[in-house]
A and B are shown apart, each in its own frame.
Chain A
């Protein structure tokens, strides 16, 4: 593992895929020597990213649950198929909307913050100072953030799914007089385990995209404050773009697999 780290260090700061490879090499090395992964830093980043995004993620998830149930009730109502609303809400949330929307929220809150923070450190010579102290900026700054987001985004997504289901329930119970027990039974019974997993796989991929793009943009800032602004914009735009593209690819893959 150490060999890999060593090999990749020679290509320091040279592009997106090298950064990816360097993150993996530290993660692999961390398997045998957990101290490499700086557990304390990871934990504090997890709290920051998780707690930061919680209020907004809940609000969005609740609204989406609402919207899904209401849109479904007008159309399914015409067919007399109101009883399928819970199925529809829970399937759409788990497979698609939960992972996607929570990821987009996290891009706006945490991805941009990470780029701005690392970019400012670059401008302020702090990254340089780390290197001169023989501390790898990738290990010290990037890896903890990577781990934190890859762990937190799926957790936030599960949480968002639950809140979204509650939103759907509010509509069903409030306007359609659907019994709560009926709603819960259908919302929970209908999706298979794979539906949940496929959503979680997506959110891990999204987390990877968000944090690698954010860190890469931050580490490559040039031209002072203006450069930080430009990098932050790039970080958000590229993340959202690649999240949606990879979502399409993954959805296609899952479609053909199952």
Chain B
């Protein structure tokens, strides 16, 4: 039940395909030749240390940013080559939940969720109101329609962002750390929402997550991006079981959350001295 159906030969099943993706910022390769595929119905988790390029990867996947090189095929089309008109058509098929919400501050919670519906569907306002209530109930925020984003907590904002991303019932959901800053119960609620969307409605989810409990709870496949000396490469990719049993020390340190290990956080004594004295 946990593993996705293995239909590797069927390419129409592939909803997202990344090839040789490279992103360079100021001469530093943040993403360096990534290759992976996401199949329809999967819940694909992207993990990795803070600052390793997860948000950057997501921004490239949704076409918000052009990569330095490489291709991203979404629904069979290379979005790095598309003109904005065609990209807009594709954008209607997926939802994006931003790391920091990106809610419209001048609108209420309800208006935020209603906006994509008003702009892209011809349904009646009373129906939109109903959809808004449904989406808010999904994320446990019934009754908050008329609050401004500045009047709710950070965790609530994240959930509004998720509700807005789901407003148009997308086939594909991108979610950037949907559970960070949420309490354990709310984390479980959001995880359950992702599970329900993927298992019951058939939504494909690409989720960035730091939270290992939550990641293993929802994932059908996982990918870990490297940092430090392994910046820009894929450390490991596989089903949750494969990831758990992968002996890579880098990966094991990350999923166990240990301070000691190959993931470089601090400089060595010598390097630290050099750095302080300014000749490192």
Contacts and interface: CB of A to CB of B under 8 A. Distances in A.
User: Are these two chains actual partners, yes or no?
Assistant: yes
A126 B83 contact: no
Contacts of B102: 124-126, 128-129
A128 B64 contact: yes
A131 B96 CA distance: 11
Interface residues of A, number: 18
Nearest to A133: B116
B62 interface: yes
Interface string B95-118: 010101011111000000001100
A135 B119 contact: yes
B119 A126 contact: no
Contacts, number: 53
B73 interface: no
A215 B85 CA distance: 22
A123 to B, nearest CB: 11
A131 B120 contact: no
Contacts of A140: 119
Interface residues of B, number: 22
A221 B71 CA distance: 29
Given A126-B102, A133-B91, A134-B88, A9 B83 contact: yes
Given A129-B102, A134-B91, A9 B64 contact: no
Nearest to A8: B84
Interface of B: 62-64, 83-85, 88-89, 91-92, 96, 98, 100, 102-106, 115-116, 119-120
8 contacts: A9-B83, A10-B84, A124-B102, A128-B98, A132-B62, A133-B120, A134-B88, A134-B92
Interface of A: 6, 9-10, 12, 117, 120-121, 124-126, 128-129, 131-135, 140
